[in-house]
Structure 1
Amino acid sequence: MDAVEVAGLRIGYQRAGHGPPLVLLHGAYEDSRVWRRQLESLSDEFTVIAWDAPGCGRSDDPPPDFSGKDLGDALTGFLRAAVPGKPHILGLSMGSGIALEMYRAHPEVPASLLLVSAYAGWAGSLPPEEVERRYAQVLDELERPPEQFIPVWLPTLFTSRADPSSVGEIAAIMADFHPKGMRALLNASGRADYREVLPTITVPTLLLYGAEDVRSPLSVARDMHQHIPGSTLVVIPDVGHLAAVEAPEAFNAEVRHFLHGIAGG
């Protein structure tokens, strides 16, 4: 595990391989370990870099008043400190929001965006009552031990056909979450709305979703596709929110196909 300091925060990350840089941003209650299959597979032709967001994994917890802008700036600072060249940015779920926050302030930074199981922020993609339900749910969970609520999350992340060992691996990673860090991230991004960012995106953009995702369903995917000019929407059949874990071969193949298309274009 490597680390850099960004705005006074230690940011941990994993790196593997050589080639064009591909940066992986995990989702809520997660850290860079969820990308094990991508670090192993895609590193044959890319420099794959998976960060631990502030407040996650081996990174420091941000202050309680950490804002969405602070989060985007932390990513920008991390990219400048740890990533060679112009990176492809792949964000999963919450990570996609961080990527959009970064793009809003620094559109010159990424070579492309790969937004996986993505939202235009919860408030940009979900009805207000669902945003508040999710916000309240996470606030309540932060007061309880993980074994009480992670089993409730897992069926919303995977289909019933997912490999039990993969589900167990993710459950163990989620159980390592930082209560203070997750609270700061919720405050920073839980009510974010990036709808105005979508039409401004000019870099090649892949939208990659599981067909059976119940957290960011295909209605959200189609809306994102409609509002990001020239974006490519790909749906992986028979998988849920964590397609990168549930169907890594199909997921990695779609990532390669998209990045090869950019290089070939």
Structure 2
Amino acid sequence: MKFVETNGLTIAYERVGEGHPLVLVHGAADDSRIWHPQLAALADEFTVLAWDEPGAGRSSDLPDEWTLEGFADALAALIESLQLGPAHLAGMSWGGTVALELYRRHPGLVATLIMIDTYAGWKGSLPADEVRARVAGARRMLSAPPAEFDPTFPGLFAGDPPAAHVELLAAIAADVRPATLEQELAIMAETDLRGLLPHVAVPTLLLWGDSDVRSPLTVARQFEEAIPGTKLVVIEAAGHLSSLERPEQVNAALREFCRAHPPRAT
């Protein structure tokens, strides 16, 4: 892991490979380790960067009353400090919402957008009753005694978790900070970025597990209809964490898309 200091925060990240930059943005209750299959497979062709967002992994705790804008600006500061923009920007689940907000605030840093099983915020992608149910479930999770706290959301995989990654998933879950998760889930419940989607002016790839019950294919279709010229690739036999459950298919789609849309220097 490497570290940068920005705006009073320590941001941890992993960087491998050489080539056009590909920035990976993890989901809630995750950290950079969730991208292990992509870091291992794509470094032969790309500079692959995976951060630990503030409040996760080895990065600093979140400041009080942190916002979606704060996450986006912190990621932008990391990309700028490493002189990696404009970059391919790939976000999974909550990380896709952060990537969209970064694009809204710092479009010059983004060469392409890659949305993986994500949302335009829960408010922007899910029915109101589903958002209310998720908020209630999050409150129950966060109010559990520390010994019973389990940040593993249901429906992350089409089947059982991949055997090769069970230990990795357990290690990531053990390091989740409840205060971070509480702030993220509150942000997601109130975020609606639907208005941004028709104005996305960079090549955009949608990667979606066909069995994703957290962000179902109906959400992917919303993105597909709203973003001009976007491409949807459906990953068979994959749930919400398609990049971990079916890495070969996801990596092949990432490689093909990034090759077809190399970043142009600004």
Provide the TM-score with structure 2 as the length reference.
0.93
The answer to whether the Cα contact below 8 Å between 1:28 and 1:93 also exists between their aligned partners in 2 is yes
- Spell out, residue by residue over 1:102-132, the C-alpha distance to the aligned partner (whole angstroms, 9 max, x if none): 1111222200000000111100000112112
Aligned partner of 1:102 in structure 2 is: 102
The answer to whether the Cα contact below 8 Å between 2:85 and 2:109 also exists between their aligned partners in 1 is no
Letter in 1 for 2:55: G
Report deviation, 1:232. Answer: 0.5
Q: CA RMSD in A?
A: 1.9
Aligned partner of 1:157 in structure 2 is: 156
Aligned partner of 1:232 in structure 2 is: 231
Aligned partner of 1:25 in structure 2 is: 25
Letter in 2 for 1:223: Q
Report deviation, 1:230. Answer: 0.7
Percent identity reads 45
Q: Which range is displaced more, 15-24 or 168-177?
A: 168-177
Report deviation, 1:35. Answer: 0.6
Report deviation, 1:28. Answer: 0.8
Q: Distance in 2 between matches of 1:95 and 1:14?
A: 16
Q: Call closer, same or farther: CA 1:50–1:143 in 2, change over 3 Å.
A: same
Report deviation, 1:175. Answer: 2.2
Q: Distance in 1 between matches of 2:25 and 2:107?
A: 17
Q: Which range is displaced more, 172-181 or 115-124?
A: 172-181
Letter in 2 for 1:119: Y
Q: Distance in 2 between matches of 1:147 and 1:246?
A: 26
Report deviation, 1:73. Answer: 1.4
Aligned partner of 1:211 in structure 2 is: 210
1:114 aligns with 2:114: yes
- Spell out, residue by residue over 1:118-155, the C-alpha distance to the aligned partner (whole angstroms, 9 max, x if none): 1111000001121122123223322333755346x2x5
The answer to whether the Cα contact below 8 Å between 1:131 and 1:191 also exists between their aligned partners in 2 is no
Q: Distance in 2 between matches of 1:111 and 1:15?
A: 18
Report deviation, 1:186. Answer: 2.7
2:110 is paired with a residue whose SS is coil
Aligned partner of 2:63 in structure 1 is: 63
- Uncovered stretches (5+) of structure 1, i.e. residues with no partner: none
Residues 38-187 of structure 1 mapped to structure 2, 5 A cutoff: 38-144=38-144, 145=146, 148-150=149-151, 153=153, 155-160=154-159, 162-187=161-186
Q: Call closer, same or farther: CA 1:124–1:183 in 2, change over 3 Å.
A: same
1:11 is paired with a residue whose SS is strand
Q: Call closer, same or farther: CA 1:175–1:8 in 2, change over 3 Å.
A: same
- Spell out, residue by residue over 1:16-41, the C-alpha distance to the aligned partner (whole angstroms, 9 max, x if none): 11111100000010000001111111
Provide the TM-score with structure 1 as the length reference.
0.93
Letter in 2 for 1:183: E
- Aligned residue pairs: how many? 263
2:115 is paired with a residue whose SS is strand
Report deviation, 1:242. Answer: 0.7
- Uncovered stretches (5+) of structure 2, i.e. residues with no partner: none
Q: Call closer, same or farther: CA 1:197–1:165 in 2, change over 3 Å.
A: same
